[in-house]
Chain A
Amino acid sequence: MNTGILLSRVADSIYWMSRYMERVENTVRLMEVNWNLMLDLPQVQTNEWESLLHVSGDFDLFKSAYDEINAENVMRFMTFDLLNPNSMYACLTAARENSRAVRDVITPDMWVLINSMYLMVKSYDSNARGFYTNPFDFYREIQENVLHFYGVEHASTFRGQAWNFNQLGRMLERADKTTRILDVRYFLLLPSLREVGTALEDLQWSAMLRSVSSLEPFVKKYGPVSARGIIEYLLLDPQNPRSLRYCLQHADQSLRNINGTPFGTYSNDAERRLGQLCADLNYLTVDEIIRIGLHECLDDLQIRMNRVHTAISETYFNPDVQTQNQGGL
């Protein structure tokens, strides 16, 4: 076993394996929650399904391939359609391809889990299984599989560089999804931001919190669902494992572990950008977010996260194109 030094290509694959697995889980959770919500809503509301297409940014792609926005089409597009690079199956396939490229680095159990999951989805006949009338068990099974994978990974992975790239990918992906979900739902529910919500809107806000797996802890800490509470909880709360701040702080820690860089300093552009972003989040308030405008604020955060990703990629995955900061032999 080498002392945790990784091939750049391997670091790249681990980072993406992790991002794609997280994307699988997020997509499935979003679909399941939405499907549940639809059962509670009084009539067929297609804009709920439409909003999911905006979360992943695939609305145009969907329109080019499907005539009508309805539950079945959106579920098919987001779950099984390989035409959609963000569908659960496409992400799972990509996660598996990446893990295949690093089979010597991840533990055998991790590979077996990803592979078994892939084989299960690949052979799953959605029409024959009545998936579109009751997708619950399938979505549940996928989520449980991903959680099983996370558990094995957590319990068995050597805490070296591979682990840090893995965590970095996961946390950045999770941060990205949280901001996207908040952004899209904010648009849909805009009118209620400063008012007392209707029963329907409450349902929708609750569903959003469920889709980032955190309704119960929210209620415990913040009480009834409110826009301010949600913004604080999803963006700034340091104890919510899906909040932007939490995710980015953990990503920052993993990124620093890779090079052994102390807090408050940086040794490359990726560390500088992510450190700066975390520092800003540490001192941001809900009032300030509302003053700037939630959408504008989220937009800015996403652009900055993208720049972090680009800097990581240039620093670690393409060592040819930049000047090395470490000695060779």
Chain B
Amino acid sequence: MKKILSKPESLKNAVLSYCPGCGHGIIHRLAAECIDELGVREKTIAVAPVGCAVFAYDYFNFDVTEAPHGRPPAIATGIKRTNPDKFVFTYQGDGDIAAIGMAETIHAANRSENITIIFVNNANYGMTGGQMAPTTLIGQVTETTPFGRNPEREGYPIKLCELLSTLEGTTYLERVAIYNPQNIIKAKKAIKRAFQCQIDGKGFSLVEVISNCPVDWGMTPLDSIKWVEETFIKSFPLGTVKDKINSII
């Protein structure tokens, strides 16, 4: 019998601290597999966010630095500009990237920093108990939108990929999901393409992964992936938002 699928080398053999059914573990694994397959583990410097993935350095088997909330794109800029030969990516949640860190996100993208961002969108602040995020859906009930998100009070969900697509500096932007194996395969392909974009020196790449947060959504893991499929991705359509990789020589 031959082992054909198992934990990638770029993941440590640790028990993940995420809640049962949470998508973070899948996304960690996809990033780790891509790094293994691209052979860049030993030159990777990753930036962990503030939020549920704050402990990413306990799970990833390569160099990882902490960052203040929202600042990973700036931190990654500092790392990559002084070490252009290293492989640099940030792993960020919706609050981190699109609320407190929106300025850092937009400007890193606009400078076309040759970094990759893995953006985990689960429509709420997971770590702090499920408050409204910039990506919370209209009508979605959270800890801080007990009557459902009302655009008159709380504005609209931010579609980050579409927002960033207007910037000349962005090279590759794709939104993927991980609610079933078919989409997980597509998500991995997108992450790998984004990483390759950086390796080829083609500038800013970001993959937005629509994920689930069963505990804070008050759902079972199965109900949560059903909600992603039936509701979440209706507001956040999947697919390539921008890809000019092939037009950059």
- Is this pair of chains taken from one and the same complex? no
What residues of chain A have their CB less than 8 Å away from a CB belonging to chain B? Answer: none
What residues of chain B have their CB less than 8 Å away from a CB belonging to chain A? Answer: none
